[in-house]
Homo-oligomer: A and B are copies of this chain.
Amino acid sequence: MRLTFPYQTDRLGAVRIYGVQHVFELDSDPAEPESYFGTTVSHVPTPAMLAVQRRMAVVIPCRNERLRILDGVLTGLPHATLLVFVSNSDREPVDRFMMECDTIERFCRFARRQAVVVHQRDPGLGKAFAAAGMPELVGDDGLVRHGKGEGMIAGIALALLAGKDYVGFVDSDNFVPGSVNEYVRVYASDFHLAKTRFAMVRICWKSKPKVVDGALFFSRWGRTSETTNRLLNLLLAGYTGFGTDSIATGNAGEHALTMELALRLRLAGGFGIEPYQFVDLFERFGGVDPDTTAPGDHPDLMKEGVQVFQVETSNPHFHEDRGTDHLDDMVNASLSALFHSTAATPDVRTAIEEHVGGPPPPPDPPYPPLSRLDPARFREVLSDGASTFAQFVYPEDLGVPPIPV
């Protein structure tokens, strides 16, 4: 893969946010040495990309997605990555989860892969989180709460059990397998370029095709992203003193984290998970608020710093249209988290009040960092009690051992 080397940088405390990188070639020459072209274009040779992918889990959260589309998403996943599938699909009257497992099992059989699956609402999963130090994730019914963020957190926990060092997310509603493939290549390329153990890669799209007046229009930004990005940039500029448009991925559903960073972030539930990552980075590692910044807890992170990569993919983002409800949820979650953040500046608060016509209600508190999870205990309770927790292990005939989750 060949993409621009990130050069524009905004810094806030230990956090470095790079300007958007562009993709020049999906398939570069594996024989060409790395970074050959000096500093402006990064060449990440296939073997380097592959080495990262072998240490990566790709989490697909899914809720009642059409199986034909899920099929395509699977086709795009680079072979070297571990598939972690967390479903919150209906099990009544038709057991959609069973059908998803069937699809994944067939994919693993034909493509000779391994996968880990679990249903988000499996009582055994809730019990495991409650027992292993993360009871906040579990509702009064003893089940992991509904929400995309909650499913993603479960995915990170499974990736941790599998011993992976990187965890990437791919939505299950993507129509274009080639763009799924590009996301995971981009994740691996930037992790290869990262200089710290605390890195994040966030995707923005070249364009998002929409149907306008019966024809396709390639819009540059969604409305939600526009608002979230504008306010995040306003916050950043308030501290650095320089106006900026560097944040372009406030609502990036497609993103990836090093496990070291994933375990230390406080993650939000629902659709707020993606924008809240910026808020948490600013609050706790941005050095803007002495009360919440706790360098004593994370001396290694504060020293090495966090790198946030942002990449514009070459493929259009062409996905299922789910109406505007979840967009509204997303923008509300972003704005209230930002408004009530201890990192928010008066300018940002004013801008949000103007946007929503008054102060937004306080958001649900984020979940504590996953570093609190006791992996051994989680593994034990999960294996004993979760009936939907399964592994598909191919090639069977070679006796390849299952992943130790």
Please give the residue numbers on chain A whose beta carbons come within 8 Å of chain B beta carbons, in ascending order. 2, 23-30, 32, 36-37, 41, 43, 46, 50, 72, 75-80, 107, 110-112, 175-179, 181-182, 185, 206, 209, 211, 214-216, 218, 314-316, 318, 321, 395
Contacts and interface: CB of A to CB of B under 8 A. Distances in A.
Contacts of A177: 26, 178, 182, 314-315
Given A29-B79, A29-B80, A75-B314, A111 B24 contact: yes
B215 A78 contact: no
The 8 A-B pairs with the shortest beta carbon distances in the complex, nearest first, are A178-B178, A27-B78, A75-B314, A29-B79, A177-B314, A25-B111, A178-B315, A28-B79
B176 A318 contact: yes
Contact of A30 (B50, B110, B209, B211): B50
A67 to B, nearest CB: 14
Contacts of A50: 30
16 contacts: A26-B75, A26-B177, A27-B76, A27-B80, A29-B80, A32-B112, A37-B110, A37-B395, A41-B111, A75-B314, A176-B316, A177-B182, A178-B181, A209-B318, A215-B321, A318-B318
A24 B316 contact: no
A107 B211 contact: no
B41 A110 contact: yes
A27 B79 contact: yes
Given A110-B2, A215-B321, A315 B176 contact: yes
Contacts of A79: 2, 25, 27-29, 32
Nearest to A181: B26
A107 B214 CA distance: 33
Nearest to A76: B26
With most chain B CB atoms within 10 A of its CB, the pick from A43, A185, A211 is A211
Contacts of A25: 75, 77, 79, 111
